[in-house]
């Protein structure tokens, strides 16, 4: 397969130890890149790095913490010598209907998705600018349009869209592009607790009639990271199998 200009480029993938982030790391390594798999679960990140080989580095990172980003970014600079691309992918859910949702459930989701994405863009902006072909891909969701039991998640994922477009405007002069990928439902551990009836409803509302595999999201992310998408910025790419918003 064509390596799409990834060879030798250096990427940070947050939440890279599982699901979509793991699939993104695999695709980038396959294409010849260096990848820092940055995850709160550093043991799982190390297992991914052991599997993907010597161009893959495990990094401990809690995306919601500035000090953790400071430490992780130092490690990446020391070990990879710079950063050409960032995937803000780490995520959690704390689902509950709005009336029952606690302050903690609201705040944790906002902190990981929205603050975590903002911190990543801010802390690595200069590193990405130094490369002059830097690219950021933030992971939004089709849930940004509104999702039952997910006021916290929908607000965070919609917020990521505004953040992405603003970062694209601010960093364009440094040669850094910033886009978002908005997946539909993807078969990952994040969906483990979702009842089959709910998943069936999603599939029925999707033109392709099935859930996505993580690799199908990873290919879209890899395109937006690569120089092959050099004129694409401030864009939200839906990768949702033709989801109909009923
Ligand atoms: N699975 C889906 O259907 C779906 C759909 C749309 C969007 N998304 C988004 O895709 C992204 C990846 O989701 P996934 O389905 O692969 O989930 P996942 O649960 O398989 O993986 C999430 C990873 O993020 C890590 N993580 C969680 N909190 C973290 C933190 N504070 N700091 C660093 N790492 C942290 C976890 O340890 C885990 O490795 C998320 O942003 C999610 O909201 C998922």
CA of 150 to the centre of ligand 1 (A): 15
Is the Cβ–Cβ distance between 12 and 86 less than 8 Å?
Answer: yes
- Does the residue 2 lie in any domain? no
CA 97 to chain centre: 25
CATH number, position 166: 3.40.50.720
Q: Ligand 1 centre from 204 Cα, in Å?
A: 24
**pLDDT in 10s for each residue of the chain, 246 residues:** 557 899 999 999 999 999 999 999 999 999 999 999 999 999 999 999 999 999 999 999 999 999 999 999 999 999 999 999 999 999 999 999 999 999 999 999 999 999 999 999 999 999 999 988 999 999 999 999 999 999 999 999 999 999 999 999 999 999 999 999 999 999 999 999 999 999 999 999 999 999 999 999 999 999 999 999 999 999 999 999 999 865
Cβ atoms of residues 25 and 35 within 8 Å: yes
Pocket around ligand 1 at a 6 A CB cut-off: 14-15, 17-21, 39-41, 61-64, 89-92, 112, 139, 141, 183, 185-186, 188-191
Are the C-beta atoms of residues 88 and 39 closer than 8 Å to each other? no
Query: Strand, coil or helix: what is 139?
Result: strand
Does 244 map to a domain? no
4 domain-assigned = no
In DSSP terms, 38 is beta-bridged to 14, 59
Number of domains comprising the chain? 1
> Is residue 188 situated within a structural domain?
yes
Structural domain boundaries enclosing 93: 10-239
pTM over 0.75: yes
Query: Per the domain annotation, does 22 fall within a domain?
Result: yes
């Amino acid at each position: 397969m064509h390596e799409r200009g990834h060879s030798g480029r250096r990427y940070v993938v947050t939440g890279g130890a599982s699901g979509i982030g793991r699939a993104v790391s695999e695709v980038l390594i396959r294409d010849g890149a260096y990848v820092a798999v940055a995850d709160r679960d550093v043991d799982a990140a190390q297992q991914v790095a052991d599997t993907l080989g010597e161009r893959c580095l495990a990094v401990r990172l809690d995306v919601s913490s500035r000090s953790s980003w400071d430490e992780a970014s130092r490690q990446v600079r020391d070990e990879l010598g710079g950063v050409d691309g960032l995937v803000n992918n780490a995520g959690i859910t704390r689902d509950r209907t709005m009336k029952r949702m606690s302050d903690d459930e609201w705040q944790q989701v906002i902190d990981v998705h929205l603050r975590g994405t903002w911190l990543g863009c801010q802390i690595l902006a200069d590193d990405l600018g130094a490369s002059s072909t830097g690219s950021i891909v933030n992971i939004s969701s089709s849930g940004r349009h509104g999702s039952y039991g997910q006021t916290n998640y929908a607000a965070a994922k919609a917020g990521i869209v505004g953040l992405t477009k603003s970062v694209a405007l601010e960093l364009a002069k440094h040669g850094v592009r910033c886009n978002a990928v908005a997946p539909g439902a993807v078969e990952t551990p994040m969906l483990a607790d979702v009842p089959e009836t709910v998943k069936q409803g999603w599939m029925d509302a999707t033109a392709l009639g099935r859930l996505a595999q993580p690799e199908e999201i990873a290919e879209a992310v890899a395109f937006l990271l690569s120089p092959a998408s050099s004129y694409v910025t401030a864009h939200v790419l839906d990768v949702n199998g033709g989801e109909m918003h009923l």
